[in-house]
Amino acid sequence: MSYRIPIGPYHIALDEPYKIEVECEGETVIGASLKVGYNFRGIEWLAERKNITRSIALMERVCGICSNVHSMTFCLALERIGAIEVPPRAQHIRVLMAELERLHSHLLWAGVAAELIGFQTLFMTCFNLRERVMDLLEAISGNRVNYSMNRIGGVNRDVQDPQAVREGVRAVRDGVATSLIPIFTTDRGVAGRCRGVGVLTREDALAYGAVGPVARASGIDQDLRRDAPYLVYDQLEFAVPVQPGGSVYDRIVVRALEILESCGIIEQVLDRLPEGPLHGGDVYTVPPGETVMRIEAPRGEVFYFVASDGTDTASRVKVRTPTFANIPTVVPMIRGSVLADIPLIQGSLDPCYSCTDR
C-alpha cells in the first residue's frame, strides 16, 4: 500500500518555502512532485521600473550568497549592449570577488551538509573557514554580504592589501586540504550517509538540464569559465573537477575540489593584477539593444536576458538562477531512496528557492 507525504512549503527540513510531495511504499520513495513559487519578490518587475544604477543594487538582492554574481552579470550584459570596455584591473578584481564568493558559497554548503549528516565538529570546521573568507570579502568591499563592488564599466573599490588576501586564501586552502577533504572522503560516518545516496545518473542530469556542481558530480564536464570564458578566465589555469557517481558523496567531493581550484585562481589573479583605472567613468544609459549573458555562479549557470530602449531604465530583465535548473533533478534523486534521506538529498543541491522566486 502506498501513501503520500507532503513536505513543505514550510517545514523544519526545508530552509526556504517550497513543497515536495512524496509517494512511498513503506519507507521507500517511489515518486514525487515539486512545487515552487510561494514567494513573489518582484525583482524583475522592479528592475524594469528603476534606473539601471539602482537596478545594480537591486540585482544584488536576488541571492544572499551569490549577490556579487548577479550584479556582475547584470553589468556585463549592459556593457555588452553598450560596447563598454572594462579596464583590465577591474576585470581581475571581478574575478577575484567571484572566486571568493564561490569559496563562501561552497564552505557554507559544506557546513550545512555536515549539519544534515549530523557531524557537528565538521560543521564548525567548515564555518570557521567560511568566516575567514567573509573577513576577506569585508576587507575588500567593506561588507560581508552585499558587496556593492560592481558598476557599469568596472568596479567601485580597489584591493588595498593583496598580500593579506593571498595569506587568507592560503590559510583557507590549507584548512580544506588538511581537514575538510580528508574527513569528507575517508570518514566512515560520512561515507555511510552519502555514498550511493541520492544518485543522479548522467543520463538524468542531461535530461533534466542540471548545471554546475550537480551536473559535474554526475559526470558532465561543463563549466562556463572554461567553455564560454568571460572577463579574464581564458588567461587563467584551472581544472574542472568531475565525478562519475552522481551521489551526495560525489557532489561533496566536486565542491571540495572546486574550493582548491578557486584558491588557485585567486592567487593567479593576485600575481597578475595589472595597474590601471578601476572603471571608465560614470554611465547612466546604454544604447538600444538586447543581449544574453551567462556566467558560472557557485551553484551553476546564471542566465540573464537584458533589453534596453536607450533610456536609463532597462525595458526587460529576465533572470534564470541555477537552482531553477536544478530543482527538478530532486525527483530522480529521491526515487528509490528511504524517506529519511530526503532532507540530505535535497540539501545536496545547495538549493536557493527564494532566489528562484524572483
pLDDT in tens, 107-160: 999 998 888 888 888 899 999 999 999 999 999 999 988 999 999 999 999 999
List, for residues 282-309, the tens digit of each pLDDT value: 999 999 999 999 999 999 999 999 999 9
| pLDDT value, residue 120 | 87
Measured CA to CA, the distance from residue 46 to residue 174 in angstroms comes to 43
**Confidence tier at 271 by pLDDT (50, 70, 90):** very high
What are the start-end ranges of the E strands in 14-96?
A: 19-25, 28-35
* H-run or E-run covering 121: helix 120-141
Strands 19-25 and 150-151: unpaired
**For residues 260-288, average pLDDT:** 95
| pLDDT value, residue 352 | 84
Query: With DSSP H G I counted as helix, E B as strand and the rest as coil, what are the percentages for the chain, rounded to 5?
Result: 50, 15, 35
pTM of the model: 0.94
What are the start-end ranges of the E strands in 115-156?
A: 150-151, 154-155
The CATH superfamily assigned to 42-333+342-350 is Cytochrome-c3 Hydrogenase, chain B (1.10.645.10)
Contacts of residue 68, defined as CB under 8 A and 6 or more positions apart, other chains included, come to: 60, 97, 98, 101, 147, 149, 150
Residue 79 pLDDT > 70, yes or no?
yes
Measured CA to CA, the distance from residue 352 to residue 329 in angstroms comes to 14
Give domain limits for the chain. 1-40, 42-333+342-350
From the number of C-beta atoms within 10 Å of its C-beta (0-12, 13-18, 19+), residue 186 rates as exposed
User: Are 143 and 156 within 8 A, CB to CB?
Assistant: no
What the block records as the C-alpha cell of 208 is 533534466
**For residues 341-352, average pLDDT:** 87
